[in-house]
Amino acid sequence: AQKVTQAQTEISVVEKEDVTLDCVYETRDTTYYLFWYKQPPSGELVFLIRRNSFDEQNEISGRYSWNFQKSTSSFNFTITASQVVDSAVYFCALSDIQGAQKLVFGQGTRLTINP
């Protein structure tokens, strides 16, 4: 069965600090996709990234970066030089062939950036 674990329920940092959100997943499939979504206080879900299981290259997008490690089944998300606008709940999600009709979400990490 598929499972996504975000062990950090809440994180609070001061602005300009770097912060890493952890995501560990379980799947028996060799082909799968991993996602990160941001949910700002307004409530909508904002797509951040999709990564397939065959692409282990790390990705950087501005202050955001993602570290995908198949060996540890992790897909961690780092925000560099955090800003107050980064405050949100962040979800990691998995989709694989076995459960192809859905996204399996982690519990979410509430990130608070204090000025």
Partner 1 sequence: EAQVTQNPRYLITVTGKKLTVTCSQNMNHEYMSWYRQDPGLGLRQIYYSMNVEVTDKGDVPEGYKVSRKEKRNFPLILESPSPNQTSLYFCASSLSFGGNTEAFFGQGTRLTVV
- Contacts with partner 1, residue ranges (CB under 8 A): 4, 6, 9, 32-33, 35, 37, 43-45, 47, 50, 52, 91, 93, 95-97, 100-103, 105-108
Beta strands in the chain (DSSP E): 3-5, 10-14, 19-21, 24-26, 32-39, 46-52, 59-61, 64-69, 74-79, 88-96, 104-105, 109-114
What's the closest the beta carbon of residue 14 comes to partner 1, in angstroms? Answer: 25
Residue (84 or 100) nearer to partner 1, CB: 100
Distance separating alpha carbons of residues 45 and 102, to the nearest angstrom: 16
Residue (14 or 23) nearer to partner 1, CB: 23
Distance separating alpha carbons of residues 26 and 106, to the nearest angstrom: 11
What's the closest the beta carbon of residue 15 comes to partner 1, in angstroms? Answer: 26
Residue (23 or 79) nearer to partner 1, CB: 23
What's the closest the beta carbon of residue 7 comes to partner 1, in angstroms? Answer: 12
Name, in order, each residue with C-beta under 8 angstroms of 71's C-beta and a sequence gap of 6 or more. none
What's the closest the beta carbon of residue 54 comes to partner 1, in angstroms? Answer: 11
